[in-house]
DNA sequence: CAACGTTGTTTCAACGTTGTAAACAGCCGC
DNA sequence: GCGGCTGTTTACAACGTTGAAACAACGTTG
């Protein structure tokens, strides 16, 4: 198995009675090739079902046509959804995407930064958690790099993200607007060198400060449902439990929701709940989840675009930062549900 | 950007005062190299931070070290979770995984089958939906292929899956064991040439027939939450609505759950609900979801193993089919919940 | 001590592709 | 009938790697 049946340019050339280079020219649409020659070659090409050998082409051109997408974990819905868009955006450039998982570990992020396991890739899109700006600045590997989902201003690399501070402020304002006063933030991280947690925390604080409300902050280690559930349990044990919780992402919120419901609390009557990410789960949970919906398709498209510019553009242009859009989507977990309907209805998109 | 700083074997050879081939031998641990030469070469290697150029190596060896994983959609949690395991299993062989999405479209599955967009990959793991056994048998491309998640007996390619028929029967038996009698199957597909739907339907039927119970079957087009919600709504409109529903996967079940709850029905008191896949969402929904948990890590490992044998083994060995384990996980959506606890508790794994 | 293995190293060619430069054919104008 | 031009095609080399075969320097052996 695996024996390459593929015809090479040489095979085509032989059959068409022309030189290898002429075939190459036809294949690439290059140069001036006479109509008759072109026709003859194309005849043979399709007859032998010629497929270029990309290893060879890449060797020759120094490009691989493959980029890496390095994420903390593919099985977090947000990243899975984002990946889909990245793959689609890359496909338009005929790029392939290999996915690497860092598990948020510093060591694995480092390894990504200096080469994807020796495979040459043309560029890397990294969603960083552990690695810091200084270390990024110091990296030696010349592979094009775009940071995704966080925003280190004046950082050492191109990056794209939504305005996390403002988004967090919007959510918090939304909760405040409901009349809640004991609003907790769930999802601060202790050890994150980069990542979005500090930004979202800052947005929360701005809003709370603006209204003279007291802060309550629950920390987690990872953005996962179980951590959200546990942190929520912790909040409920406090002397003055919150009447609203802004979870730094939807997974945490869904974990928190589980805890609230299994404690017999009503959402949003007893505790209003909001997340961030707009993963699909939150559109079908009961209650449905209020959240911030980043424009994932835009994020992906911009990331790929930036990478393209890095790869093809002049070597030296300064790092760019680009913002992507988002919108606040208020759903049942803050607004309350409409009364039980005899006729079923799906949640809106 | 992207200028390759990388030192080549030639550079190393020059500096170490040996031939290129000797450096190659050192790098590969091959052949007999004298300790002194080896030391000298390794010195230079690490000094110049040598990295093999895989494009060249692959060109020479006819292998790329890259496999493709072709899935309907990456943002379906089951596939995201599975992908993570596949990537991990492949990483152990130092393989890279590119992910391709078929969206369940026949045309895109076909395209995968005869080459991943011209990039040479050593093998393909395909989770087929639309494509049929006959077409698989007829394919000409020599790339190693493993089918994942379905089981066409005596099919034309290696495949790995759980025993879908038995799993579906187990779930149905579980529902029957609860005393339910109007048990619906949700998730039959009209147009699936392969895929697991027919197998799961068969299992459901076996169980129902064995107990002399009437069948109720709701069809969907895709395995997504919205389709589950809509199909459930359809079931509720019937003259005799079901008192239990076996959804052919967890996403459908979560969609169905949404519909049930928003109609004011209680789960499991009014309608018991079970899914299949054991995605994480179902461990944190309220109620938590009874499901079948396929051993995803095992599925992934076997798939990669089969691929490895195909790629490295003799050309002609007959297609193998391997089963992976699963277990039934009964949770609140069929067993009912323990009464509201003042102390929160996470759902069991 | 000559023929022979063993060990370490090198030379050579090839994988399939494309950029460069040069060769070639046809044609015009003189 | 020759120089020069245009347009088309070709030969060659190179990208970085590795298998096969050749080679040199040994120590063994009959």
If you average pLDDT over each of A35-49, A85-99, A184-198, B291-305, which comes out highest? B291-305
Interface mutation target, options A115, A346, A349, chain B, most CBs of B under 10 Å: A346
Structure tokens that stand for A46 in this block: 């399709």
Residues near B56 by beta carbon (within 8 Å), at least 6 away in sequence: A59
Mean pLDDT, chain B, integer: 88
pLDDT at A61: 87
> For the ranges A59-68, A101-110, A152-161, which has the lowest average pLDDT?
A152-161
B7 pLDDT tier (thresholds 50, 70, 90): confident
CA distances from B202 to A161, B124, B167, B224, B299 (A): 47, 28, 10, 21, 22
Q: Is residue B315 scored above 70 in pLDDT?
A: no
A42 pLDDT tier (thresholds 50, 70, 90): very high
Structure tokens that stand for B70 in this block: 């072709």
> For the ranges A54-58, B250-254, B295-299, which has the lowest average pLDDT?
A54-58
Q: Is residue A288 scored above 50 in pLDDT?
A: yes
Q: Are B144 and B316 in contact (CB under 8 A)?
A: no
Nearest to A263 among B96, B229, B344 (CB): B344
Per the DSSP assignment, residues forming a β-bridge with A321 are A159
Q: Is residue B262 scored above 70 in pLDDT?
A: yes
Q: Is residue A198 scored above 80 in pLDDT?
A: yes
A115 pLDDT tier (thresholds 50, 70, 90): low
Q: Is residue B340 scored above 60 in pLDDT?
A: no
Closest CA to A274 of A194, A190, A203: A203
A143 pLDDT tier (thresholds 50, 70, 90): confident
Structure tokens that stand for A258 in this block: 């589980």
Do the Cβ atoms of B65 and A119 come within 8 Å?
yes
Nearest to A74 among B84, B91, B347 (CB): B84
pLDDT at A344: 44
pLDDT at A286: 94
Task: For chain A, say whether B80 makes contact (Cβ under 8 Å).
Answer: yes
Task: For chain B, say whether A92 makes contact (Cβ under 8 Å).
Answer: no
Kindly list the residues from chain A whose CB atom is less than 8 angstroms away from the CB atom of residue B284.
225-226, 229, 254-255, 257-258
Task: For chain A, say whether B52 makes contact (Cβ under 8 Å).
Answer: yes
Region B42-53: mean pLDDT is: 90
Q: Is residue A91 scored above 70 in pLDDT?
A: yes
Concatenating the DSSP letter of every residue in B63-109 gives --SEEEEEES-TTSHHHHHHHHHHHHHHHHTT-EEEEEE-TT-HHHH
Q: Is residue A255 scored above 70 in pLDDT?
A: yes
pLDDT at B284: 97
Region B266-294: mean pLDDT is: 97
Q: How near does any CA of chain A get to the CA of B167, in Å? A: 24
* A94 Cβ within 7 A of any nucleic strand C atom: no
B346 pLDDT tier (thresholds 50, 70, 90): very low
Task: For chain B, say whether A62 makes contact (Cβ under 8 Å).
Answer: yes
Q: Is residue B345 scored above 50 in pLDDT?
A: no
pLDDT at A25: 92
Do the Cβ atoms of A100 and B117 come within 8 Å?
no
Region A243-268: mean pLDDT is: 97
pLDDT at B12: 94
Task: For chain A, say whether B53 makes contact (Cβ under 8 Å).
Answer: yes
Q: How near does any CA of chain A get to the CA of B211, in Å? A: 31
- Per cent of chain B over pLDDT 90 is 62
pLDDT at B193: 61
Per the DSSP assignment, residues forming a β-bridge with B116 are B119
- Give the SS3 label for residue B145: strand
A2 pLDDT tier (thresholds 50, 70, 90): very low
Nearest to B119 among A54, A118, A258 (CB): A54
Helix (H) or strand (E) holding A35: helix A35-47
pLDDT at A319: 87
Closest CA to A148 of A304, A19, A42: A304
- Per cent of chain B over pLDDT 70 is 91
Q: Is residue A346 scored above 60 in pLDDT?
A: no
pLDDT at B65: 82
Q: Is residue A343 scored above 80 in pLDDT?
A: no
> For the ranges A19-23, A51-55, A99-103, B191-195, which has the lowest average pLDDT?
B191-195
Do the Cβ atoms of A2 and B101 come within 8 Å?
no
pLDDT at A194: 66
* B10 Cβ within 7 A of any nucleic strand C atom: no
Q: Strand C: which nucleotides have any atom within 7 A of a protein Cβ?
A: 7-12, 14-20
> For the ranges A59-73, B137-151, B241-255, which has the lowest average pLDDT?
B137-151
Q: How near does any CA of chain B get to the CA of A212, in Å? A: 31
Nearest to B280 among A225, A337, A346 (CB): A225
Cβ pairs bridging A and B (under 8 Å): 227
Q: Strand D: which nucleotides have any atom within 7 A of a protein Cβ?
A: 7-12, 14-20
Distance of CA B205 to the CA centre of its chain: 25
Residues 275-334 of chain B whose Cβ lies under 8 A from any Cβ of chain A: 280-281, 283-286, 310-311, 313, 315
Q: Is residue A313 scored above 80 in pLDDT?
A: no
DSSP code for A69: E
Q: Are A310 and A126 in contact (CB under 8 A)?
A: no
- Pick the residue from chain A with its C-alpha nearest to B51: A118
Task: For chain B, say whether A259 makes contact (Cβ under 8 Å).
Answer: yes
Q: CA B50 – C1' C5 distance (Å)?
A: 36
B113 pLDDT tier (thresholds 50, 70, 90): confident
Kindly list the residues from chain A whose CB atom is less than 8 angstroms away from the CB atom of residue B3.
142, 315
Region A254-268: mean pLDDT is: 96
Kindly list the residues from chain B whose CB atom is less than 8 angstroms away from the CB atom of residue A273.
none
- Pick the residue from chain A with its C-alpha nearest to B73: A84
Q: How near does any CA of chain B get to the CA of A72, in Å? A: 11
pLDDT at B194: 66
Structure tokens that stand for A325 in this block: 């859009």
Q: Are A87 and B68 in contact (CB under 8 A)?
A: no
């Amino acid at each position: 198995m695996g024996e390459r049946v593929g015809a090479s340019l040489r095979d085509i050339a032989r059959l068409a009675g022309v030189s290898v280079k002429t075939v190459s020219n036809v294949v690439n649409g290059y140069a001036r090739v006479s109509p008759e020659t072109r026709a003859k070659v194309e005849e043979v090409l399709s007859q032998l079902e010629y497929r270029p050998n990309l290893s060879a082409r890449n060797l020759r051109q120094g490009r691989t046509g493959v980029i890496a997408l390095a994420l903390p974990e593919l099985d977090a819905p947000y990243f899975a959804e984002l990946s889909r868009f990245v793959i689609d955006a890359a496909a338009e450039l005929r790029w392939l995407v290999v996915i690497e998982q860092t598990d948020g570990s510093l060591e694995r992020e480092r390894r990504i930064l200096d080469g994807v396991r020796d495979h040459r890739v043309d560029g890397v899109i990294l969603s960083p958690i552990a690695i810091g700006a200084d270390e990024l600045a110091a990296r030696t590997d010349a592979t094009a790099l775009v940071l995704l989902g966080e925003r280190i201003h004046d950082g050492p690399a191109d990056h794209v993200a939504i305005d996390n501070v403002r988004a967090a402020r919007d959510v918090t304002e939304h909760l405040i607007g409901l009349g809640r006063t004991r609003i907790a933030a769930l999802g601060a991280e202790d050890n994150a060198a980069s990542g979005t947690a500090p930004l979202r925390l800052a947005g929360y604080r701005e809003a709370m400060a603006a209204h003279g409300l007291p802060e309550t902050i629950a920390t987690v280690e990872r953005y996962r449902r179980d951590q959200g559930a546990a942190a929520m349990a912790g909040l409920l044990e406090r002397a003055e439990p919150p009447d609203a919780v802004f979870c730094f992402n939807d997974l945490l919120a869904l974990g928190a929701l589980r805890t609230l419901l299994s404690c017999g609390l009503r959402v949003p009557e007893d505790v209003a709940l909001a997340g961030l990410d707009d993963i699909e789960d939150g559109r079908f949970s009961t209650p449905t989840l209020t959240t911030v919906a980043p424009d994932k398709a835009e994020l992906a498209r911009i990331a790929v675009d930036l990478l393209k510019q890095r790869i093809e553009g002049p070597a030296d242009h300064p790092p760019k930062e680009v913002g992507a859009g988002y919108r606040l989507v208020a759903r049942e977990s803050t607004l309350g549900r409409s009364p039980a309907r005899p006729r079923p209805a799906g949640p809106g998109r």
